[in-house]
């Protein structure tokens, strides 16, 4: 008989199940408490029960656990310093959506050399998340893959669905069952409607197939996620300005969405020029200081060292510099956080 299956599959390599990995790197009471308490605080911010600003800041992608941990260590005192005005959460992104092809993140290729040791990548990612949370820093991840979350979602306080996947039914179903609040980016060309559609879709119950913690396939029924919100990341034009924010708010109100907006200072809002994040951030801070209560959150791409470098063998890389999108450096991040904090305090005084 003609073989009709696996005609284009070159290899199938077994990997550990989610429950095996969780057993190897278990969470702790303190970490679980941090994760759940942060999710609750984020929910309060998104629903405007808390007037602080949620700030997701950190590298475009984690490629080196050591520098990610150093970033978290340096963020810890700032998180405490600004606790009255900002809920600081670290961007800890392991899965990169690519426009065409390229390095797809630490889970997919942890050794940065196209050896694609995904089993190792999952373990490294879980360990990094555990270590960062153990420092008292909550973590934000993008859920790009509908399967990998089972390996680490218990350690995530906020999740993103990216510009390239916001319109995907699979991702909306996944979001409806995630335990954390979830932001949906507008599309790469700037379509904000699809992010609002995603918030509405993820709010509903869904029934779909997914792997269980044991690695078998099961039918899942979700409760729906009330903590979905949109993220303005720009498209063919930036969309962080006052008019774009007002347009997005009107659209959300018309559609019965009550969660506030996150503004991504990077990506198409910075027109991929990392230094522009400071200008975007200052403009958004001014809108907040002027009393805009619909802006409840923002995102910064930031690393220890500004800029970016081409991917190379690990021992040839500049320590603490991005190998995906260019980031602002840590000192610039500190300045931006201070500006955002002052803006929140000014808004509170109004
Ligand atoms: O945030 C990261 C990038 O913008 C995204 O992964 C797309 O990257 P690429 O256009 O370099 O593939
Ligand atoms: C890929 C990202 O963003 P976007 O989906 O907006 O391109 C990201 O935030 O890493």
Query: Which residues line ligand 1 at a C-beta cut-off of 6 Å?
Result: 60, 96-99, 102, 267, 324-325
Q: What pLDDT is attached to residue 171? A: 98
Tell whether ligand 2 has an atom less than 6 A from the beta carbon of residue 183: no
Main-chain phi, psi angles of 313, to 5 degrees: -55, 145
Exposed, middle or buried by CB within 10 Å (0-12, 13-18, 19+), for 49?
Answer: exposed
Q: CB atoms < 10 A from the CB of 217, how many?
A: 9
Q: What pLDDT is attached to residue 296? A: 99
Q: What pLDDT is attached to residue 181? A: 99
337 is written with which tokens? 């956080």
What's the CA gap between 67 and 59, in Å, rounded?
A: 10
> Which residue has its alpha carbon closest to ligand 1 atom 10?
99
Ranges under pLDDT 70 in the chain: none
Residue 222 C-beta-side C-alpha neighbours within 13 Å:
23
221 is written with which tokens? 């029924």
Question: Which residues lie across from 247 on neighbouring strands?
Answer: none
What's the CA gap between 17 and 266, in Å, rounded?
A: 35
Give distance in angstroms: CA of 163 to centre of ligand 2: 6
Q: What pLDDT is attached to residue 133? A: 99
Give distance in angstroms: CA of 195 to centre of ligand 1: 18
Give distance in angstroms: CA of 145 to centre of ligand 2: 14
Tell how far CA 252 is from the center of its chain.
21
Q: What is the dihedral of CA 14, 20, 25, 27, to 10 degrees?
A: 130
């Amino acid at each position: 008989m003609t073989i009709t299956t696996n005609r284009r599959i070159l290899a199938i390599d077994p990997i550990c199940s989610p429950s095996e990995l969780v057993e190897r790197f278990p969470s702790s009471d303190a970490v679980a408490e941090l994760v759940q308490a942060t999710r609750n605080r984020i929910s309060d911010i998104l629903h405007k029960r808390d007037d602080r600003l949620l700030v997701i800041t950190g590298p475009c992608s984690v490629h080196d656990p050591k520098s990610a941990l150093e970033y978290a260590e340096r963020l810890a005192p700032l998180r405490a310093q600004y606790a009255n005005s900002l809920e600081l959460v670290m961007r800890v992104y392991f899965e990169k959506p690519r426009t065409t092809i390229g390095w797809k993140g630490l889970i997919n290729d942890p050794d940065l050399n196209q050896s694609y040791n995904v089993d190792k990548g999952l373990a490294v990612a879980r360990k990094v998340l555990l270590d960062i949370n153990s420092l008292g820093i909550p973590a934000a991840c993008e859920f790009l893959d509908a399967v990998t979350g089972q390996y680490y979602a218990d350690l995530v306080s906020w999740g993103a669905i990216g510009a390239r996947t916001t319109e995907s039914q699979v991702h909306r179903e996944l979001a409806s069952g995630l335990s954390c609040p979830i932001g949906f980016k507008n599309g790469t060309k700037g379509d904000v409607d699809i992010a609002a559609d995603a918030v509405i879709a993820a709010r509903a119950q869904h029934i779909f197939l997914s792997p269980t913690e044991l690695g078998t396939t099961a039918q899942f029924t979700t409760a729906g996620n009330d903590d979905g919100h949109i993220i303005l990341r720009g498209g063919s034009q930036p969309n962080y300005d006052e008019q774009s924010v007002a347009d997005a708010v009107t659209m959300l109100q018309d559609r019965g969405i009550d969660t506030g907006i996150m503004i991504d200072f990077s990506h198409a809002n910075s027109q991929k020029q990392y230094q522009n994040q400071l200008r975007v951030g200052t403009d958004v801070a001014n809108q907040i200081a002027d009393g805009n209560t619909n802006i409840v959150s923002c995102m910064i791409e930031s690393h220890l060292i500004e800029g970016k470098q081409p991917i190379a063998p690990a021992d040839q890389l500049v320590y603490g510099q991005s190998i995906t999108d260019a980031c602002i450096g840590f000192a610039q991040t500190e300045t931006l956080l201070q500006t955002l904090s002052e803006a929140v305090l000014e808004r509170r005084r109004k």
